[in-house]
Amino acid sequence: MNSLDETVSLVSELGVKKVNKSLKAQIVLGFIAGAMISLGYMAYIKCVATIDGGLGNVLGASIFPIGLLVILLAGGELITGNMTVIGTAYWNKKVTLSQLAKNWLVITLANIAGALFVALIVGTYLGTLSSYQDVINNLAQSKAHYDPLRTFVSGIICNWFVGLGVWLNIVMKDGAGKIMGIWFPVMVFVLLGFQHSVANVFLMGISMSYGGVTISQFLSNFVFSYLGNIVGGAVFVGLFYVMANTHKK
């Protein structure tokens, strides 16, 4: 395992690499990440819809992390992860606010495109989830019915967990350790139903196609969960660990 000081340095270096990637690479990897998170969510929905009781939720939450595993181990740019990584690099004075903002904008848009592609093409057009419309609409409505402040706070807690999964991927040196470090924090946020802005784009997108939520509910949920995700990843993980870094007096 890397120490806290080593991890802060490694995460900051990764943040520098992320902002220096070409625009094409950011768009492609962002699209992949949005799609992978959404495909993981599709698996979660199928578990919840086909397995009775709480067991379906537990098994679905256990399967969902495959999306982040693919992103972190095979390659992908997920905005919630970048909030943590580039946020850490910014607090550690390795990237500028302009570099951070440009990366977050590009990756956010690419993630949205990937999530909507899976929702509308894989989910709706192919009919992969057509048998589970009621489950999808119930899940979407349960998230849409949060008021803005609760959505924001839920977004904070969500990306605290996701950010920790990203962080533990750097902390751990061996493959098995990385997988375990990514898996369990993500599983917990899904099990507890916290608000992940990109995953919600997929859920709300497919629910809108089934008449479950409105565009205004979609937009409100995205904005406030996204803002909460920023605080959870960039502050509760990135800033806090930079502040705790023993090399920073």
Q: What's the pLDDT tens digit per position in 161-172?
A: 999 999 999 999
Environment class of 118 (CB within 10 Å of its CB; exposed 0-12, middle 13-18, buried 19+):
buried
Cα–Cα distance measured from residue 22 to residue 124, given in angstroms and rounded to the nearest whole number = 32
pLDDT band, very low/low/confident/very high, at 247 (cuts 50, 70, 90): low
Cα–Cα distance measured from residue 73 to residue 179, given in angstroms and rounded to the nearest whole number = 9
- Taken in order of first residue, the domains within the chain and their CATH numbers are 4-128+143-242 (1.20.1080.10)
* Alpha-helical segments (H) within the chain: 4-19, 23-50, 54-63, 66-74, 79-91, 97-117, 133-144, 148-171, 175-192, 197-209, 215-230, 240-244
CB 194 within 8 A of CB 120: no
Cα–Cα distance measured from residue 7 to residue 11, given in angstroms and rounded to the nearest whole number = 6
CB 23 within 8 A of CB 43: no
pLDDT band, very low/low/confident/very high, at 177 (cuts 50, 70, 90): very high
Cα–Cα distance measured from residue 92 to residue 82, given in angstroms and rounded to the nearest whole number = 15
Q: What is the pLDDT of residues 46-93, one digit of tens each?
A: 999 999 888 999 999 999 999 999 999 999 999 999 999 999 999 999
Cα–Cα distance measured from residue 34 to residue 37, given in angstroms and rounded to the nearest whole number = 5
CB 225 within 8 A of CB 154: yes
Q: Quick check: 249 pLDDT over 60?
A: no
Q: Please give the pLDDT value at position 248.
A: 53
Q: Please give the pLDDT value at position 245.
A: 87
Q: Report which residue type is found at 11.
A: V
Q: Give the chain's mean pLDDT.
A: 96
Cα–Cα distance measured from residue 79 to residue 115, given in angstroms and rounded to the nearest whole number = 12
Q: Please give the pLDDT value at position 246.
A: 62
